[in-house]
Amino acid sequence: MENTKCVLVTGASQGIGKAISLSLAKDHSCKVFALSRNESALNELASASSNIIPIVCDLTSKSERKVALNKINSISSHLDGLINNAGFLVNGSLPNLDEEDIRKIFEVNYFSAALLIQECLGLLKKAKSSHIVNIGSMGGFQGSQKFNGLSVYSSSKAALASLSECLAVELAEFGISSNCLNLGAVQTEMLEEAFPGYRAPLDAKSMGKYIAKFALEGHETYNGQSLPVSFSAP
């Protein structure tokens, strides 16, 4: 286990997170700690590779995050990567969103990611060179085209992108790199639910493979960057 790359992936039960986990486990022979609230989907994912360790966890719960970290600590002495992929999207303009939805969007997309990073620092510090990859959105990328119904979601992702830039400075002394990948539209379950009938130009499997490779190699070239990953110009 000491020589095996170990990566934690959130939102791993479906879409991009599932594709990232499969690529890391199968294409790169990494040990993958796959986190999600969906136990049955996680167990199905784990059946695809012995390198995938399913961990049921509601990231908005401090107690559940603690249980998840205890399990990871019992298996591995380090983390080479943390991919904050879990996300929550409600298609609605600010005047039409309930307070509960606004708070949940930020709770999932920003606060849980920031707190998980904080809680994983001990494991990340023990790797020779570790990489935090936060999954943002082109909607939160400065100067990009904006769309109606995504103001709060995009704002939460913009906050995550800024955090990624700041962490590169704060964590440099520990050999921890931090970057944010701002994704354009990808065909996932979350996109289909928020925008029925819309067809994205890229599928989850292709994006998952790209992110998996970036998590393992991207910090050799980038640090503290908020990078667009999209077919369309900002």
Residues with catalytic function: 153
CA distance 135 to 144: 16
Question: Rounded to an integer, what is the distance from CA 143 to the centroid of its chain?
Answer: 22
CA distance 31 to 129: 16
- Tokens 């479906």: give the residue: 14
CA distance 121 to 172: 12
Give the strands of the sheet with 6-10, arranged side by side. 52-56, 31-36, 6-10, 81-84, 130-137, 176-183, 225-229
**Contact (Cβ atoms closer than 8 angstroms) between residue 161 and residue 136:** yes
* Tokens at 120, concatenated: 């994983």
CA distance 137 to 202: 14
